[in-house]
Structure 1
């Protein structure tokens, strides 16, 4: 049974649908350090627009992570290069931002270019947005994933689902629900997933692609990070560091740290985990996870980020130790840890 989609009869979703029908030249972007949700949503929407005879490019601030190479069916995922892509961006009639709603998530080079193009800007996201980058904002915080929203939008337009589209959208939901373990794995998400599976995609194969084909360097990086994990407030809060030195020592990449936060979250006494990943350019990416008692969205927002009650993130200036001090102060200010921790 096809899900009902009353949301998409309303503005701004109907305006977004009109743009997809009427315009011819599109560019799709997701955030820095792209994850399965943003990338899966891009693949599904790219396939749909291509099948409608549209010109569509995927241009992201960072290259495609190795673990998601299986999505790169026609080498369509490209990391932004000014010399290669500025003409493409200038020709775009519509720029669609997937899974982010703040300019700074694009990274400085691509942000500067996107602010300058004349295309209609559209945001499709399941995170809250204030003063976002887009003219049209298709937002639904109740959705499990951005890929779910992109799928539902296409279905509301009468679009035909293909296995390639289903692969992308399933990857979105799989990764943003923690393999259907998180509280956002609601009946709506499972109904969408059922429709995706009807195309013949194999969930066991996709699970293996996403979670079962890591490089050995990732395990070595995880070992170093766990060995340096810090416990606060009688193991209620865990801080998991990933420094540049660790990354370089084992020959890994900062994107290999994706998922570490969920390993630490499995500790019985833990209520909140913060993963601190040191990036190039003297920045540290923070990923917050909660089991429900700690509102990590509030903590992330206090540090210039955002997200949801149980999962949020931010990027701050400085190395891991600098970021640790900021996080600790934010936790104390919010009374999530005691003064003596």
Structure 2
């Protein structure tokens, strides 16, 4: 069943989750602020309703999650580790397709196939794979949906839950700058702030907590910036990462900086990873859909902010993505 409004979905979702004996909450690979915020926020809401919940994400949490006291409780999946055997419901948040929870998806196919899946998301590319799906593509963040769900359930939200949900709102709207930011988005954020959400801490962790090595990485990436008119792109190689001492999170600020150049329609960062793959991060001007490009490459995201991980070398990945993007823009 696919729901697109809170009014339709709230009773069915509440019944399914409160009936479960043990819920597993998870989200997409390389979790961002909305993935972490919605995982922790939903878990706290469900526990307040008496549910037993375990959180496991596919890969490491971003550093900005340090402001959330529940962050150390979030399990990070490792190959060969066992997921809880008594889980009887899997809830997937902020993820367009279950294939996006690698490496869990590949390693735990049988486990996932044996358990019902419930999906809460806002991506336009969501394939509705759950037996229950709440997909609100007009929402600016999954955390916005969860704030509305808690209201529909008449479930009180404490300050820590409000802070987790604010993290998702702030990061997915790029500090309330994206075209999906609506009056409702701002009302949900105001309500969370009134409930004790620590907006200032979230903003500082996102905007002002970057290591010096990330600043060096940004400088090197800007030196390699290429202007093709409609597309501005750059790369961050393993040699550059080792030379700056930056960790795997270096790159978010690079993409953000590229997208501030007004002359282009789309912006791409090619980031060479230690395992030989290439992570691409794309941004675009309002009205330009890079989300469909990322989806065609096996990734996901939003119309104006999306990405994918390619099992290719840097040169091959660059040629493939730029050629695909040129066709899309034409």
Q: TM-score scaled by structure 2?
A: 0.91
SS of match in other structure, 1:58: strand
Displacement of 1:328 in angstroms is: 1.7
Structure 1 stretch displaced more, 116-125 or 39-48: 116-125
Post-superposition CA distance 1:97-139 (Å, at most 9, x none): 1111223311134543154243221111111245454332210
Distance 1:301 1:74, change over 3 A: closer
Q: How far 1:255 moved relative to its partner?
A: 1.9
In the TM superposition, residue 156 of structure 1 has moved relative to its aligned partner by 1.0
**1:53 matched residue in structure 2:** 50
Counterpart of 2:94 in structure 1 is: 99
**Matches for 1:64-75 after TM superposition, within 5 Å:** 64-73=61-70, 75=72
Determine if contact 2:35/2:168 at 8 Å carries over to the other structure: yes
Q: Check if 1:35 corresponds to 2:32.
A: yes
Matched position secondary structure for 1:282 = coil
**Once superposed, what is the RMSD of the aligned Cα atoms?**
2.1
Q: Equivalences for 1:231-246 in 2 at 5 Å?
A: 231-233=227-229, 236-246=230-240
Q: Does 1:223 align with 2:222?
A: no
Could you tell me which of 256, 260, 265 is aligned with 1:262? 256
**Corresponding residue of 2:162:** 166
Does the CA-based 8 Å contact 2:100-2:299 persist in structure 1?
no
Structure 2 counterpart of 1:156, from 130, 133, 152: 152
1-structure distance, mates of 2:143, 2:243:
35
Q: Which runs of 5+ in 2 are unaligned?
A: none
- 1:212 matched to 2:201: no
Deviation at 1:37, TM superposition (A): 0.5
CA contact (8 A) 2:5 2:134 kept: no
Residue matched to 1:22: 19
Match of 1:135 in 2: 131
Structure 1 residues not aligned, in runs of 5+: 1-5, 337-341
Other-structure match for 1:116 = 111
Gap change, CA 1:10 and 1:49, over 3 Å in 2: same
The Cα of 1:228 is off from its aligned counterpart by: 1.1
Match of 2:301 in 1: 307
Is 2:182 the counterpart of 1:190? no
- Structure 2 residue 138 is the aligned partner of structure 1 residue 146: no
On the 8 A contact 1:101/1:133 being kept in 2, the answer is no
CA 1:229 to 1:302, structure 2 compared with 1: closer, same or farther past 3 Å?
same
